Chains A and B, each alone.
Chain A
Amino acid sequence: MRSSTVTEAAVWTALGEVIDPELGCNIVDLGLVYSVNVDGGKVSIVMTLTTFGCPMHESIRWGVQNALLALDGVMEADVQVVWDPPWHPSMMTDRGRASVGISVPPQP
């Protein structure tokens, strides 16, 4: 039995390990994670993907769940994939833009 308490910082760090295999960049740098909510042992994530109908949809969602459930103290992981607001490169970090090949931060 685990008794440790999960922190939001630990959740963001774990999410930073999950990559979009097509773009080769982690989902946090891509700006795909919209919100993180930690409620005791339950973690809820609201996220999006770069393209509707992305073939990697299920894999990335599995990846997020795997990463969350591997954290000490996480008993339940709820991953919501939403399309509103739609993803835009302006949501990416500078490092993400550099990694994917977007040099100038575009305006939404």
Chain B
Amino acid sequence: MSDTSKRASQGGAGVPALGATSSVMLPLSFILVGLVAFLTGIGWLLLQPSLLATYHYNQTIIAVTHLFVLGWICSVIMGAMYQLVPVALETSLYSLRLARWHLILHVIGFSGMVWMFQEWNLKQVGHFGSVLAVGVGLFVYNLARTLWRVPRWTLPATAITTVLAWLSFTVVVGLTVAAGKCTYDATPTATWTGGLLAGLRTATGLVSRFDPVSAMHAHAHLGGIGCFTVLIVGVSYKLVPMFTLSEVQSLKRAGFSVLLLNFGLAGAFATILLRSPWKFFFALMLLAALVLYGVEMRAILRARKRRTLDWGLRYFLTAIALLGPTGLMAAVLSWPDLPLTEWTGQLETAYAFTALLGVVTFAIMGMLYKIIPFLVWYRRYSKQIGRTQVPSLSQLYSARLQSVGYWCFLAGLILVSLGIIAGHASCIRLGCIGMAISATTLVCNVGLMLSHFLRPTVPERVVPRLTVSASI
């Protein structure tokens, strides 16, 4: 009998393989786009640190913010969600084809938006933003159909659903704000374009009722909290227990944290937009959500069976810890009738910077050290496992580079944040150097991981063979 006549059968509870859910190259493409945007953004700040030393309502800082938010954060998060959502929720991605179209529209959309923000051509921002919005529409539809297939509804599934809703709302509000800053001279006609023109004029009328800075801040909070914070909180209830061999300790506490985050955001959006003193109340509600989240994370970590925390997890847990100072800054800034002085203006910038480049970026970098090794390993070694020696995920990259990157980024973040508050450009530049070194270590490690596609390696340490007496 030849080897080919051998049979394999499987049974028990099943989880679909990645090959059935998504392409390895799709999330990797999103992630690589994100890394290019990240390096570009850090380089931009390194060359122009004075951008952060002055008030943030100007075209260049809005351009660089959208480069970080859409180019870096959204690219990586969306790519990761195409891979993680089906895996974490034990289902399969609805359409890989739609996801590929999304990638193209996303890259065109955000690149054009950043360029046109820099030129301060808001009509073109709206056009490129519309391209981006079509891509987001495909993303939301694709993941909504994916969530529809989920066999067991869980807390992460609820959190992801709300993230998709907030993402859609963020894009609509962003486009409305951009449309509201444009003028429309043509006469509306009874055509499709005429209807669009009438809609844009309505948007202009609507947005003109609000203070432009408040509208921008409300839009930013929708994205920052609704898309990023809710996602970090929601998925960490799945990922942190999985990587530390632990369990959620109180489902009720975890559920309340997600619920409060969503209610708090809804209130915060409205009160920021209307410049209402009630925004302090909703800031406290959001802080309460984060405190609940922190308590639950602490309980999960205390109950963990795997005592050693790898660097990927340390990055992620640092992100969670940074929610503390970020939340405190939010509480101060939401204080009723806080005067807008030079200092509070800089504190607003420091708050946004710590949130996006501290909390979200640390979380992303940590998860990249889980996602990329998994994708590379899955593509390169999953067929070899059991046939030959294969490396573990942590053997695909350098832990030393990872730790250097961690400390450089943390030091850089602290220096830049202090430099922003003090309005000190040299301090900001020094911090950006630390961040640039960190970004370089990340890119080097990504290069090491991707090199396995070209040069697969066999681990030096041989997995010990067991003696039968010791194993049973």
Which A residues form the contact surface with B (CB < 8 A)?
Answer: 1-2, 8-9, 12-14, 16-19, 21-24, 26, 28-29, 50-70, 74-83, 88-89, 93, 95, 100-103, 106
Contacts and interface: CB of A to CB of B under 8 A. Distances in A.
Contacts of B242: 51, 53-54
B271 to A, nearest CB: 38
B213 interface: no
A70 to B, nearest CB: 6
Contacts of B387: 66-67, 70
B462 to A, nearest CB: 10
B385 A59 contact: yes
Given A12-B468, A50-B245, A55-B18, 16 more contacts: A13-B465, A18-B386, A26-B463, A51-B241, A53-B90, A57-B15, A63-B385, A65-B386, A69-B6, A75-B1, A76-B7, A78-B10, A81-B13, A82-B12, A83-B13, A101-B307
A99 to B, nearest CB: 9
B378 interface: yes
Interface string B139-181: 0000000000000000000000000000000000000000000
A81 B14 CA distance: 8
A76 B305 contact: no
A15 to B, nearest CB: 8
A78 B386 CA distance: 15
A101 B308 contact: yes
Contacts of B393: 21-22, 24
A83 to B, nearest CB: 6
A23 B392 contact: yes
A21 B11 contact: no
Contacts of B17: 57-59
Contact of B386 (A53, A66, A74, A100): A66
Nearest to A8: B468
Contact of A53 (B88, B307, B395): B88
Interface of B: 1, 3, 5-19, 87-90, 238, 241-243, 245, 305-308, 374, 377-378, 381-383, 385-387, 389-395, 463-466, 468, 470-472
A26 B466 contact: yes
Given A81-B11, A101-B306, A13 B468 contact: yes
Nearest to B8: A65
B15 A58 contact: yes
B303 to A, nearest CB: 10
B386 A63 contact: yes
B469 to A, nearest CB: 9
Given A16-B466, A21-B381, A81 B87 contact: no
A22 B378 CA distance: 11
Given A12-B468, A28-B466, A1 B1 contact: yes
- The 7 A-B pairs of least Cβ separation, nearest first, read A66-B386, A101-B308, A24-B392, A63-B385, A63-B386, A58-B17, A67-B386
A76 B9 contact: yes
A12 to B, nearest CB: 5
Contacts, number: 155
A18 B16 CA distance: 20
A58 B12 contact: no
Contact of B385 (A18, A22, A51, A106): A18
A50 B246 CA distance: 10
Contacts of A69: 3, 6, 8
Contact of A21 (B14, B89, B377): B377
Contacts of B87: 53, 55
25 contacts: A1-B1, A2-B1, A16-B465, A16-B471, A17-B386, A17-B463, A19-B385, A22-B374, A22-B393, A24-B392, A29-B466, A51-B242, A57-B15, A58-B17, A59-B17, A59-B385, A62-B383, A64-B386, A66-B385, A68-B386, A69-B3, A77-B6, A79-B11, A81-B13, A103-B307
A80 B11 contact: yes
B149 to A, nearest CB: 14
A16 B385 contact: no
A77 B463 contact: no
A75 B5 contact: yes
A101 B313 CA distance: 14
A21 B90 contact: no
A8 B471 CA distance: 12
A12 B3 CA distance: 21
A19 to B, nearest CB: 6
Contacts of A50: 245
A51 B334 CA distance: 41
A93 B11 contact: no
A83 B463 CA distance: 26
Contacts of A89: 245, 305
Contacts of A93: 470-471
A70 B386 contact: yes
Contacts of B464: 16, 26, 95
Residue from A50, A58, A68 with most neighbouring chain B CB atoms (10 Å): A58
A17 B464 CA distance: 8
A64 B9 CA distance: 11
B30 to A, nearest CB: 17
